[in-house]
Homo-oligomer: A and B are copies of this chain.
Amino acid sequence: MKTRITELFKIQFPIIQAGMVWVSGYKLAAAVSEAGGLGLIGAGSMKPDLLSEQIRKAKNKTDKPFGVNIPLLRGDALDLINVTIDEGVKIVFTSAGHPGKFIDKLKKAGCVVVHVIPSVKYALKAESVGCDAVVAEGFEAGGHNGLDEITTFVLIPQVVDAVKIPVIAAGGIADGRGMAAAFALGAVGVQIGTRFAASVESSAHDNYKRAIVDSADNSTVLILKKVTPVRLIKNKFSQQISEAENRGATTEELANLLGKGRERMAILEGNLDEGEIEAGQCAGMIKEILPAGEIVRKIVDEYYNVVRKLH
């Protein structure tokens, strides 16, 4: 399977495992890369020292390319970038912020830089500062989300029409049907989060993985639009926030209700009542917890089956 994305990363299949807090450590990233996709270590829940350790462990597990995802809103984003460069990682996905501040440093270190964007405007901005590709992520994606609520179905073709760099689709993709649909819309790669969050190698708590598998089509909700929009599986916590939002709570009240550490609580510690069970809408399509490599192979097989049937 050869696309601009497999060539950019020198990988076998244009399937990227999203960097996810408390989920994508070296085990998951290495398993996806070993299977021919691109694994990403999610630095979002790591201090620089831990990131350094995780990169080393990933290198011990695979000789294939893998990358690091760095959320740029982190106060120590520069430290995370320095560690990534020092450890010799050559693929960096940036999100939640503007890559312009950091891209020169990354490019000088020989990194391929990909930025995650929720709309055409940010895609153009990423391209203009020199990003090598963009991940266009739709409203159905899990975790942090854009303000404009543009869905994968309409976002991908519009970003593809707007930029010359390759476009990776994200949001709502959990199987080979989704991959084929993303490619029909003009993407040349897919980034998949929730499906890998519920894999064997995911470092998340079993309760969290089970919550994904138990989801239906309408199990997730986008909350905190006034603070930072986040998609999660509905629970007691999301219900509290939704109620506050419905009565017109201020940004401050909402930030207080949110507090700190909600992601860790749900994803790492398995507290499904009080934590943020971040997941995409495609949770409803995920029926079992499989090894990450098997997920990659299944998606590729399904992709070819789907494409063969289109005429």
Contact = CB atoms under 8 A, between A and B. Distances in A.
Interface in A122-181: 138-140, 148-155, 157-158, 161, 171-175, 177-178, 180-181
A121 B284 CA distance: 13
Given A184-B181, A184-B306, A222-B149, A155 B217 contact: yes
A28 interface: no
A221 to B, nearest CB: 8
Interface of A: 119-121, 138-140, 148-155, 157-158, 161, 171-175, 177-178, 180-186, 216-218, 221-222, 226, 246-249, 280-282, 284-285, 306-307, 310-311
Contacts of A222: 149
Contact of A182 (B161, B174, B181, B182): B181
23 contacts: A119-B218, A120-B216, A120-B218, A138-B151, A139-B139, A139-B149, A139-B151, A140-B151, A151-B172, A153-B171, A153-B172, A154-B174, A154-B281, A157-B178, A158-B284, A158-B285, A177-B185, A181-B181, A181-B182, A181-B185, A184-B306, A247-B248, A307-B310
A180 B153 CA distance: 11
A88 B216 CA distance: 40
Contacts of A221: 149
Given A158-B285, A182-B181, A153 B150 contact: no
B310 A217 contact: no
A305 to B, nearest CB: 11
Contacts of A148: 217-218
Nearest to A152: B153
A208 to B, nearest CB: 19
Contact of A217 (B150, B181, B285): B150
Nearest to A280: B154
A146 B246 CA distance: 18
A222 B222 CA distance: 13
